[in-house]
Chain A
Amino acid sequence: QKEVEQNSGPLSVPEGAIASLNCTYSDRGSQSFFWYRQYSGKSPELIMFIYSNGDKEDGRFTAQLNKASQYVSLLIRDSQPSDSATYLCAVRGTGANNLFFGTGTRLTVIP
Protein backbone atom coordinates (compact mmCIF):
# COMPACT_ATOMS: atom_id res chain seq x y z
CA GLN A 1 0.00 0.00 0.00
CA LYS A 2 1.36 3.39 -0.98
CA GLU A 3 1.99 5.77 1.89
CA VAL A 4 0.32 8.69 0.13
CA GLU A 5 -2.34 8.40 -2.54
CA GLN A 6 -3.76 10.99 -4.88
CA ASN A 7 -6.05 10.83 -7.85
CA SER A 8 -3.74 11.40 -10.80
CA GLY A 9 -6.40 13.23 -12.77
CA PRO A 10 -6.40 15.12 -14.99
CA LEU A 11 -8.83 17.35 -13.17
CA SER A 12 -10.34 20.06 -15.35
CA VAL A 13 -12.23 23.03 -13.97
CA PRO A 14 -13.45 26.21 -15.66
CA GLU A 15 -11.81 29.52 -14.81
CA GLY A 16 -13.31 31.02 -11.68
CA ALA A 17 -14.49 27.69 -10.26
CA ILE A 18 -13.29 25.93 -7.12
CA ALA A 19 -10.75 23.16 -7.68
CA SER A 20 -10.72 20.42 -5.05
CA LEU A 21 -7.67 18.19 -4.74
CA ASN A 22 -7.64 15.21 -2.42
CA CYS A 23 -5.02 13.09 -0.73
CA THR A 24 -5.15 10.11 1.63
CA TYR A 25 -2.32 8.67 3.69
CA SER A 26 -1.74 5.34 5.37
CA ASP A 27 0.26 6.21 8.52
CA ARG A 28 -2.25 7.24 11.19
CA GLY A 29 0.52 8.84 13.25
CA SER A 30 1.56 11.25 10.49
CA GLN A 31 2.26 14.71 11.80
CA SER A 32 2.94 17.12 8.97
CA PHE A 33 1.19 17.65 5.68
CA PHE A 34 2.29 19.71 2.71
CA TRP A 35 0.95 20.75 -0.65
CA TYR A 36 3.41 21.50 -3.44
CA ARG A 37 2.70 22.82 -6.92
CA GLN A 38 4.85 21.68 -9.84
CA TYR A 39 4.65 23.30 -13.24
CA SER A 40 5.74 21.19 -16.19
CA GLY A 41 9.52 21.05 -16.38
CA LYS A 42 9.95 22.94 -13.10
CA SER A 43 10.67 22.02 -9.50
CA PRO A 44 8.05 21.58 -6.77
CA GLU A 45 7.23 24.78 -4.88
CA LEU A 46 5.50 24.88 -1.52
CA ILE A 47 1.95 26.18 -1.42
CA MET A 48 0.90 25.35 2.13
CA PHE A 49 1.58 23.18 5.13
CA ILE A 50 -0.88 22.11 7.80
CA TYR A 51 -0.39 20.30 11.11
CA SER A 52 -3.74 20.51 12.93
CA ASN A 53 -7.18 19.21 12.11
CA GLY A 54 -9.41 21.70 10.38
CA ASP A 55 -8.93 24.34 7.74
CA LYS A 56 -6.03 26.63 7.01
CA GLU A 57 -6.51 29.46 4.55
CA ASP A 58 -3.93 31.43 2.59
CA GLY A 59 -5.31 33.69 -0.10
CA ARG A 60 -7.21 31.61 -2.64
CA PHE A 61 -5.89 28.37 -1.14
CA THR A 62 -7.41 26.39 1.73
CA ALA A 63 -5.88 23.23 3.12
CA GLN A 64 -8.15 20.88 5.05
CA LEU A 65 -6.93 18.13 7.35
CA ASN A 66 -8.94 15.31 8.88
CA LYS A 67 -6.62 13.01 10.82
CA ALA A 68 -9.41 10.64 11.83
CA SER A 69 -10.14 9.96 8.17
CA GLN A 70 -6.46 10.23 7.19
CA TYR A 71 -7.40 12.73 4.57
CA VAL A 72 -5.98 16.07 3.49
CA SER A 73 -7.31 18.28 0.74
CA LEU A 74 -6.51 21.50 -1.06
CA LEU A 75 -9.17 23.87 -2.32
CA ILE A 76 -8.32 26.53 -4.87
CA ARG A 77 -10.95 29.25 -5.10
CA ASP A 78 -11.44 31.42 -8.19
CA SER A 79 -9.21 29.10 -10.22
CA GLN A 80 -7.00 30.78 -12.80
CA PRO A 81 -5.34 29.32 -15.91
CA SER A 82 -2.02 29.99 -14.15
CA ASP A 83 -3.07 27.43 -11.52
CA SER A 84 -2.76 24.69 -14.16
CA ALA A 85 -0.04 22.42 -12.80
CA THR A 86 0.51 19.17 -10.96
CA TYR A 87 -0.24 19.35 -7.24
CA LEU A 88 1.78 17.08 -4.98
CA CYS A 89 0.64 16.04 -1.54
CA ALA A 90 3.47 15.24 0.90
CA VAL A 91 3.19 13.65 4.33
CA ARG A 92 5.69 13.16 7.10
CA GLY A 93 5.11 9.79 8.73
CA THR A 94 5.56 8.72 12.33
CA GLY A 95 9.17 9.03 13.39
CA ALA A 96 10.18 9.69 9.82
CA ASN A 97 12.94 12.08 8.86
CA ASN A 98 11.57 12.62 5.40
CA LEU A 99 8.44 13.30 3.40
CA PHE A 100 6.47 10.79 1.40
CA PHE A 101 5.02 12.25 -1.77
CA GLY A 102 1.92 11.26 -3.67
CA THR A 103 2.08 10.88 -7.43
CA GLY A 104 0.35 14.21 -7.89
CA THR A 105 -2.92 15.42 -9.42
CA ARG A 106 -2.71 17.27 -12.72
CA LEU A 107 -5.05 20.26 -12.71
CA THR A 108 -6.11 22.12 -15.84
CA VAL A 109 -8.04 25.38 -15.53
CA ILE A 110 -9.93 26.10 -18.72
CA PRO A 111 -10.24 29.79 -19.70
Chain B
Amino acid sequence: DTAVSQTPKYLVTQMGNDKSIKCEQNLGHDTMYWYKQDSKKFLKIMFSYNNKELIINETVPNRFSPKSPDKAHLNLHINSLELGDSAVYFCASSQDFVAGSRETQYFGPGTRLLVL
Protein backbone atom coordinates (compact mmCIF):
# COMPACT_ATOMS: atom_id res chain seq x y z
CA ASP B 1 0.00 0.00 0.00
CA THR B 2 2.94 2.28 -0.75
CA ALA B 3 1.73 5.77 -1.63
CA VAL B 4 4.55 6.92 -3.91
CA SER B 5 6.90 4.25 -5.22
CA GLN B 6 10.03 4.47 -7.33
CA THR B 7 12.11 1.90 -9.17
CA PRO B 8 14.90 1.12 -9.03
CA LYS B 9 16.01 2.04 -5.53
CA TYR B 10 19.68 1.94 -6.53
CA LEU B 11 21.20 2.46 -9.93
CA VAL B 12 24.91 2.13 -10.65
CA THR B 13 25.95 2.70 -14.23
CA GLN B 14 28.77 3.84 -16.48
CA MET B 15 29.18 7.28 -18.01
CA GLY B 16 27.50 7.61 -21.37
CA ASN B 17 24.75 5.08 -20.65
CA ASP B 18 21.02 5.81 -20.87
CA LYS B 19 18.80 4.92 -17.93
CA SER B 20 15.23 5.36 -16.75
CA ILE B 21 13.66 5.78 -13.34
CA LYS B 22 9.99 5.00 -12.83
CA CYS B 23 7.55 6.56 -10.39
CA GLU B 24 4.00 5.60 -9.53
CA GLN B 25 1.54 7.04 -7.02
CA ASN B 26 -1.68 5.42 -5.82
CA LEU B 27 -2.99 8.49 -3.97
CA GLY B 28 -5.19 9.68 -6.80
CA HIS B 29 -3.14 12.89 -7.01
CA ASP B 30 -3.15 15.07 -10.11
CA THR B 31 0.36 16.49 -9.85
CA MET B 32 3.72 14.72 -9.82
CA TYR B 33 7.27 16.02 -9.49
CA TRP B 34 10.88 15.03 -9.96
CA TYR B 35 13.51 16.43 -7.60
CA LYS B 36 17.28 16.02 -7.50
CA GLN B 37 19.07 15.96 -4.15
CA ASP B 38 22.81 16.44 -4.40
CA SER B 39 25.55 15.40 -2.01
CA LYS B 40 24.99 18.55 0.04
CA LYS B 41 21.36 17.53 0.54
CA PHE B 42 20.01 20.41 -1.54
CA LEU B 43 16.63 19.39 -2.95
CA LYS B 44 15.88 21.04 -6.28
CA ILE B 45 12.81 20.76 -8.49
CA MET B 46 13.40 19.44 -11.99
CA PHE B 47 9.99 18.83 -13.51
CA SER B 48 6.33 18.79 -12.62
CA TYR B 49 3.31 17.38 -14.41
CA ASN B 50 -0.32 18.09 -13.74
CA ASN B 51 -2.77 15.64 -15.29
CA LYS B 52 -0.08 14.46 -17.73
CA GLU B 53 0.75 18.03 -18.75
CA LEU B 54 4.18 19.57 -18.12
CA ILE B 55 3.85 22.61 -15.84
CA ILE B 56 7.39 23.03 -14.53
CA ASN B 57 10.54 22.53 -16.53
CA GLU B 58 13.44 23.95 -14.59
CA THR B 59 16.84 24.52 -16.09
CA VAL B 60 18.09 20.99 -16.45
CA PRO B 61 20.12 19.52 -19.31
CA ASN B 62 17.96 18.25 -22.15
CA ARG B 63 19.50 14.85 -21.55
CA PHE B 64 16.77 14.57 -18.91
CA SER B 65 13.35 13.84 -20.33
CA PRO B 66 10.25 13.22 -18.24
CA LYS B 67 7.30 11.26 -19.50
CA SER B 68 3.86 10.90 -17.97
CA PRO B 69 1.83 8.10 -19.59
CA ASP B 70 -1.03 8.78 -17.17
CA LYS B 71 -1.53 10.91 -14.09
CA ALA B 72 -0.44 8.11 -11.76
CA HIS B 73 2.97 7.69 -13.41
CA LEU B 74 5.88 10.00 -14.07
CA ASN B 75 9.06 8.48 -15.45
CA LEU B 76 12.45 10.09 -15.90
CA HIS B 77 14.76 9.12 -18.72
CA ILE B 78 18.38 10.24 -18.70
CA ASN B 79 20.56 10.05 -21.80
CA SER B 80 24.35 10.04 -21.92
CA LEU B 81 24.83 9.93 -18.17
CA GLU B 82 27.60 12.08 -16.70
CA LEU B 83 29.47 11.91 -13.40
CA GLY B 84 27.64 15.02 -12.17
CA ASP B 85 24.31 13.24 -12.52
CA SER B 86 25.14 11.16 -9.46
CA ALA B 87 22.56 12.11 -6.85
CA VAL B 88 19.37 10.92 -5.24
CA TYR B 89 16.30 11.49 -7.39
CA PHE B 90 12.99 11.83 -5.60
CA CYS B 91 9.56 11.59 -7.09
CA ALA B 92 6.72 13.36 -5.28
CA SER B 93 3.01 13.90 -5.78
CA SER B 94 0.31 16.29 -4.57
CA GLN B 95 -3.43 16.58 -5.07
CA ASP B 96 -2.98 19.86 -6.85
CA PHE B 97 -0.32 22.51 -7.42
CA VAL B 98 -2.24 25.64 -6.50
CA ALA B 99 -1.87 27.25 -3.08
CA GLY B 100 -3.85 25.56 -0.34
CA SER B 101 -3.75 22.30 1.58
CA ARG B 102 -4.06 20.26 -1.64
CA GLU B 103 -0.53 21.30 -2.63
CA THR B 104 1.14 19.26 0.12
CA GLN B 105 3.73 17.04 -1.51
CA TYR B 106 4.40 13.42 -0.59
CA PHE B 107 7.74 11.92 -1.53
CA GLY B 108 8.78 8.54 -2.83
CA PRO B 109 11.71 6.60 -1.28
CA GLY B 110 14.24 7.96 -3.75
CA THR B 111 16.52 6.44 -6.40
CA ARG B 112 20.21 6.59 -5.62
CA LEU B 113 22.06 7.02 -8.90
CA LEU B 114 25.80 6.55 -9.08
CA VAL B 115 27.55 7.22 -12.35
CA LEU B 116 31.04 5.73 -12.63
On A, residues with C-beta under 8 Å from B are 31-32, 34, 38, 42-46, 49, 51, 86, 88, 92, 97-101, 103-104
Q: Which of B11-19, B68-76, B77-85, B98-106 contacts A (4 or more CB under 8 A)?
A: B98-106
Interface SS of B by simple majority:
mixed
State which of B40, B50, B101 has its C-beta within 8 Å of the C-beta of A49.
Answer: B101
Interface SS of A by simple majority:
strand
Other than the given A42-B110, A46-B104, 12 more pairs (CB < 8 A) read A32-B99, A44-B43, A44-B90, A45-B107, A49-B104, A92-B99, A92-B103, A97-B55, A98-B48, A99-B45, A100-B45, A104-B43
Which chain B residues border A101 with CB–CB below 8 Å? 42-44
- Whole-angstrom distance from the CB of A33 to the nearest CB of chain B? 11
Which chain B residues border A88 with CB–CB below 8 Å? 43
Which chain B residues border A43 with CB–CB below 8 Å? 90, 107-110
Known contacts A49-B101, A92-B103; A104/B41 CB under 8 A:
yes
